[in-house]
Amino acid sequence: MLDWILFPWHYAFMMRALIGAILVGTLCAIVGTYVVLRGMAFFGDALAHAILPGVAVGYLVGGGARQPLFWWALLAAVLSSIGIGAIQKSVKIREDTAIGIIFAGMFALGIALISSVQNYTNDLSHFLFGDVLGISQSDLVRISIFGGLILLSVFVFYKEFLVISFDPILATTMRLPMKMLDYLLMVLIAITIVVSLQTVGIALMVAMLITPAATAYLLTKRLPVMMLAAAVIAIISGIIGLYVSYYVNVASGAAIVLSATLIFLLVWGIKLIIRTVNASSPR
Amino acid sequence: MNFLKGSNYLIHKFPEHEVGTPTLKISDLAYRFGNVDALVDVSFEVCEGERMAVVGPNGAGKSTLFKIIAGVLKPTLGLVQIYGHEPKGHICIAYVPQRNLVDWSFPVDVADVVMMGRISKLGPIRWPSAKDWEIAHHSLDLVGMQGYASRQISELSGGQQQRVFIAQALTQEAHLILMDEPLTGLDPSTQQDIFRILDVLQEKKVTVLVAMHDLKLASERFDRVLLLNKRLIGVGLPDEVIVPEKLSQAYGSHFRMVPTREGTFMIEDTCCEEGDHAHA
């Protein structure tokens, strides 16, 4: 049994994958708390897809190197969030429509760019579905640095983000710089998505942001506890997912997301049962 | 681009109150939303420590007026002055929202919500000190909610929720509190609890504007009444404003007069008896 538990971690790539999954899981869970509370799930999903052309340009320019990929992806993410905001403000279009237009358009541009390279399907699938087993030492360093900066910002602006999310009118009467804080939060979400890309990929990114946070939302009544619980759930999902991926031989990103989804369904089911029991028992 | 709107917060400097100016002075105010006039030609003044009821039918512009005073909306025309300045720099105004517009399932407890009122006093980067927590707990004492600090806000009754937001305004050290239908959906004894708190506020010289529907309470429990239906129909002592001519101007056919034993009449706003009690 002990062997079964310890065996996967003899491989350096599995160890790196584990550290990567823990770092990314924690980061996404904490930032994702705001995504869930502010109802930005669609925005998060769209942003993840909209960075594909950035990834594609980085890939074509850098010839497979990771560093340019990161910066191009970040550029695409920032441009997309600004584009969504600009369209929505200038014409009478609902926010979700504006997000949808930009998201699909950018995603198509990314696919078009990558498809210009022969035998592109393999690389495209890495971008779409992630490659946590391929995480390198320098990837971990980059995730740590940017992740640390993001978490530091979330900590420093904790009370401001709390109040703009709970009560925007109160935030306005207290003269908080609303626009700046809104954009800052969007940029933090964008950077989170870009640094986390390698773990689960574009297509499943939104799950890392919302599933652990939503599970934590069911369990807790205070924001700091929700953030902590979300991080713990994300880490557990990462570990379970890597085991499943190793022993059952399924794609690691999908395994991590499935673990998180199962934990959500479990918590939801238990809550439902408790509520039904409480409601039917005489008071 | 007003990207740095609210930079007062970042540099943590807010305008001083000018001595001798009224708490609130509104001149020729108008607000247009698209092609609809929400407010037209509204002017009035409110003195320090005054308690004023703002009444009028649904859609009369009560919430819009409050949001303009709070600096959340920008007036199309006219001027709002709080102690002699435009509202956008002030942090002494608190807006207590309608209860059904608050996300009660948000993961915060009572103490968190009350401490939110302190954020502007704290400024960026600083965390609440022991003194800030003392102020927050004192505010909870004043509204009779001292035992509820660690309750999640969804576990509170309507009256308790209202009191938590008043405590938040007190923690903000607001001089002007705008309450948007705080009495709607509360039973009479809970309404009396709120009035006891309003009495405490008045002793502390806090100016309070209350948007409401109950004309009887407005005439009995307030210093002055402002009757609004997009235009200002009347402002003054309850006896001067709550009179049949003015009420029919404001409400049209939406009110009825009931003879009472004094031989006068009690007037009820009948337009809002349904649907305003959405929050249980």
What's the angle, vertex CA B270, arms to CA B160 and CA A169, rounded to 5?
40
Q: Cα separation of A59 and A68, whole Å?
A: 8
Residue B86, SS3? coil
Average pLDDT, chain B: 84
Q: What is the DSSP letter of A214?
A: H
- The candidate with the shortest Cα–Cα distance to A73, out of A199, A234, A254, A198, is A198
Report residue B127 as tokens: 């965390």
pLDDT score for A115: 83
**Torsion angles phi and psi, residue A11, rounded to 5:** -85, 130
Q: Cα separation of A269 and A211, whole Å?
A: 15
Q: Cα separation of B219 and B239, whole Å?
A: 7
CB A197 within 8 A of CB A51: yes
A220: which chain B residues are within 8 Å (Cβ-Cβ)? 107
Q: Cα separation of B48 and A194, whole Å?
A: 53
CB B245 within 8 A of CB B74: no
Rounded alpha-carbon distances, angstroms, from residue B37 to B8, B69, B228: 31, 17, 13
Proportion of chain B above pLDDT 90, given as a percent? 42
User: Residues of chain B whose C-beta is under 8 A from some C-beta in A?
Assistant: 2-10, 14, 67, 70-72, 88-91, 93-95, 97, 102-103, 106-109, 112-113, 116-117, 119-120, 122, 124-125, 127, 152, 168, 172
Interface test with B, best of A38, A159, A178 (most B CBs within 10 A): A159
Q: Cα separation of B22 and B224, whole Å?
A: 15
- The candidate with the shortest Cα–Cα distance to B251, out of B260, B242, B238, B240, is B242
- If you average pLDDT over residues B21-40, what whole number do you get? 88
| Residue B42: pLDDT band with limits 50, 70, 90 | very high
pLDDT score for B263: 44
pLDDT score for B99: 85
From A54-68, A243-257, A259-273, B64-78, the region with the lowest mean pLDDT: A54-68
CB A13 within 8 A of CB A133: yes
Average pLDDT, chain A: 89
pLDDT score for B267: 56
Q: Is the pLDDT of residue B169 over 50?
A: yes
CB A180 within 8 A of CB B6: yes
B88–A180: do the CB atoms touch at under 8 Å?
no
pLDDT tens, position by position, B132-156:
999 999 999 989 998 999 999 999 9
- If you average pLDDT over residues B35-46, what whole number do you get? 91
- Give the residue from chain B lying closest to A184, CA to CA: B3
Question: Which CATH fold would you assign to the domain A2-276?
Answer: ABC transporter involved in vitamin B12 uptake, BtuC (1.10.3470)
CB A80 within 8 A of CB A53: no
pLDDT tens, position by position, A222-268:
999 999 999 999 999 999 999 999 999 898 999 999 999 999 999 99
B9–A217: do the CB atoms touch at under 8 Å?
no
A176–B7: do the CB atoms touch at under 8 Å?
no
Residue B86 or B161, more confident:
B161
Q: Closest Cα of chain A to B184: distance in Å?
A: 20
Interface test with B, best of A156, A173, A219 (most B CBs within 10 A): A173
Interface test with A, best of B120, B148, B164 (most A CBs within 10 A): B120
pLDDT score for B254: 60
Q: Cα separation of A144 and A140, whole Å?
A: 6
Q: Is the pLDDT of residue B125 over 90?
A: no
Q: Closest Cα of chain A to B91: distance in Å?
A: 5
Q: Is the pLDDT of residue A123 over 80?
A: no
pLDDT score for A41: 93
B107–A177: do the CB atoms touch at under 8 Å?
no
Taking the mean position of all CA atoms in its chain, how far away is CA A76?
Answer: 16
Residue B25's beta-bridge partner residues?
B45, B81
Q: Cα separation of A172 and A163, whole Å?
A: 10
Residue A1 or B208, more confident:
B208
A174–B168: do the CB atoms touch at under 8 Å?
no
Residue A215 contacts B where some CB pair is shorter than 8 Å? no
| Residue B107: pLDDT band with limits 50, 70, 90 | very high
From A24-28, B176-180, B198-202, B240-244, the region with the lowest mean pLDDT: B240-244
CB A237 within 8 A of CB A252: no
Distance linking the first and last C-alpha atoms of chain B: 42
Q: Cα separation of A203 and B28, whole Å?
A: 55
pLDDT score for B271: 52
Distance linking the first and last C-alpha atoms of chain A: 47
Rounded alpha-carbon distances, angstroms, from residue B200 to B47, B143, B190, B194, B203: 17, 9, 16, 10, 5
State which amino acid sits at residue A159.
K
Residue B267 or B168, more confident:
B168
Residue A22, SS3? helix
pLDDT tens, position by position, A156-200:
999 999 999 999 889 988 888 888 898 889 889 999 999 998 888
Residue found by looking up tokens 């794609």 in the block: A251
B71–A173: do the CB atoms touch at under 8 Å?
yes
pLDDT score for A282: 61
| Residue B258: pLDDT band with limits 50, 70, 90 | low
pLDDT score for A87: 77
User: What DSSP letter does each residue of B227-278 carry, written as one string?
Assistant: EEESEEEEEESHHHHSSHHHHHHHHTTSEEEEE-TTSSEEEEE-TTSSSTT-
CB A190 within 8 A of CB A85: no
Residue A69 or B68, more confident:
B68
pLDDT score for A21: 94
